[in-house]
Amino acid sequence: MAQDDSGSSELAETSSTAVEHPVEDHRLGDPGTAIVVADAPVNPGFPAHRPRLTDTDPKQNRRAERTVFTLFYLSIAGSVWAIAAYLAFPIESGNLADVRTSTLFIGLGMVLALLGIGIGAVHWAKQLMNDHEGIDIRHGVAGSEETRERAIEIFEEANEESGFGRRTLIRNSLIGALVAFPLPAVVLFRGLAPQNVDPIKELKHTMWAKGTRLTKDPTGLPILASDVTIGSVFHVIPDGLNDREDALEQKATAAVLLMRLRPEDLHVSPARKDWNYHGIVAYSKICTHVGCPVALYEQQTHHLLCPCHQSQFDITHEARVIFGPAGRPLPQLPITVDDQGYLVAQSDFHEPVGPSFWERNS
């Protein structure tokens, strides 16, 4: 079955020393207990050994040898190239084109160096190294009887000498210490979460409050109602956001898109009658699907498109969903103007912004 001498001798050795799984049993089955199938699949063994071209033709053999050492020499050349490229293409100018050239040529050298070694080694193994097939029979993993007895002996001796089984107070206190050891990590990780706040309340409220001015992102300058011409879009943050330490967290919920439509294009429900100011409307920029920023506003169709999953909101109908996976309209921010003509919020959003969460009622 095995095609070469070393394979058969190894096979014989294995069968004589194996304790748990004699090779004969493994291969022939036990006629006493097993169901003997008449047409059991027969191990076909190896296909006939086919000599390679490099085995039969000395010319091919020399050629393969040349190929392999050429690849290794190429690898050396690649390494030298990489060093030379590092010196030849400095990136001191800081110019992006120089960075790219430097990276490109160093990388090409390193690729040549590594691929030369790899392809050369595989080619060597495939063409020139001995290609006989052999079997290594799997053997049992358990040690011999004496080894196992000796191991148990060692454990018992250690238990005896250390008193681990006898001195129960020491043992139990050690177990207690080991259990207590990871506790600080748990407490420290808990400390990373917000402290002393109700996360549900956090999700339900944003930075907007009565009288908060609408300001431009990123400058934080207030917006006059007269600045917002028809067809305009302003990307809005609440006044004072840039001064806060948690500006990014607040922006993630308070970002607003401000648009002006012709008032006759708006279909306003009675409850939201005074939420817009002469056709200027403000909607949360956070998609109600999974919270992407919705800001692709088409000023002719008045559709607002979310780039992540193509939800579309119709601004003329209070941002109702007209396409896509979003489940709810975008929350509207009620706005008005203060005595200086700047746009201000009437209140916070009347519903939580962004995607659904477990405790959300609507």
Partner 1 sequence: MAKLNQPTTSGRSTSRKRKTGRRSPLATFALIAIGLGLTGGVYAAANATPSASADTASSTQQQVSDGEHLFQANCASCHGMNAVGTAAAPSLIGVGAAAVDFQVGTGRMPMAMDGPQAEEKTPQFTDAQTKELAAYVASLAPGPAIPDAQYLTGNTDAAAGAQLFRINCAMCHNVAGAGGALTEGKFAPPLKGVTPAHIYEAMLTGPQNMPVFNDRNITPEQKSDIISYLTYLEKNPSPGGFALGDLGPVAEGLFLWIFGLGSIVGLAVWITAKSN
* 319 vs 352 by CB, closer to partner 1: 319
Q: Taking CB under 8 A as the criterion, which residues in 176-215 touch partner 1?
A: none
Contact 349, 206 (CB under 8 A): yes
x/- track of binding to partner 1 for residues 95-124 (CB under 8 A): xxx-xx--xx-----------------x--
Smallest separation (angstroms) from partner 1 to the CB of 159: 51
Q: Which amino acid type is present at position 11?
A: L
Using CB under 8 A, pick the residue from 295, 316, 342, 347 that binds partner 1. Answer: 295
293 forms part of the interface with partner 1 (CB under 8 A): yes
Residues near 320 by beta carbon (within 8 Å), at least 6 away in sequence = 313, 314, 329
CA distance 82 to 113: 9
Q: Which amino acid type is present at position 283?
A: Y
Instruction: Give which of 251, 259, 335, 252 is closest to 297, Cα–Cα.
Output: 259
Smallest separation (angstroms) from partner 1 to the CB of 36: 35
Q: Taking CB under 8 A as the criterion, which residues in 221-240 touch partner 1?
A: 224, 227-235
Contact 298, 281 (CB under 8 A): no
Smallest separation (angstroms) from partner 1 to the CB of 194: 27
* 164 vs 323 by CB, closer to partner 1: 323
> Which range in 3-11, 298-306, 331-339, 345-353 contacts partner 1 by CB under 8 A?
298-306
3 forms part of the interface with partner 1 (CB under 8 A): no
Instruction: Give which of 328, 277, 285 is closest to 304, Cα–Cα.
Output: 285
Using CB under 8 A, pick the residue from 2, 217, 242, 268 that binds partner 1. Answer: 217
- Total residues at the site for partner 1 (CB under 8 A)? 42
The DSSP letter of residue 286 is B
Using CB under 8 A, pick the residue from 130, 300, 361, 362 that binds partner 1. Answer: 300
CA distance 260 to 231: 6
* 227 vs 351 by CB, closer to partner 1: 227
340 forms part of the interface with partner 1 (CB under 8 A): no
* 204 vs 287 by CB, closer to partner 1: 287
x/- track of binding to partner 1 for residues 121-160 (CB under 8 A): -x---xx---x-----------------------------
* 110 vs 233 by CB, closer to partner 1: 233
CA distances from 143 to 11, 15, 48, 146, 151 (A): 19, 16, 37, 8, 10
CA distance 190 to 127: 60
CA distances from 26 to 4, 15, 18, 139, 159 (A): 21, 10, 11, 10, 40
**Structural tokens at position 300:** 């002719």
53 forms part of the interface with partner 1 (CB under 8 A): yes
Using CB under 8 A, pick the residue from 198, 298, 338, 359 that binds partner 1. Answer: 298
* 39 vs 264 by CB, closer to partner 1: 264
Residue 14 CB coordination number (10 Å): 17
Instruction: Give which of 343, 353, 265, 332 is closest to 302, Cα–Cα.
Output: 265
Q: What does the binding site for partner 1 look like in residue numbers (CB under 8 A)?
A: 50, 52-54, 95-97, 99-100, 103-104, 122, 126-127, 131, 216-218, 224, 227-235, 259, 293, 295-301, 303, 305, 307, 312, 323
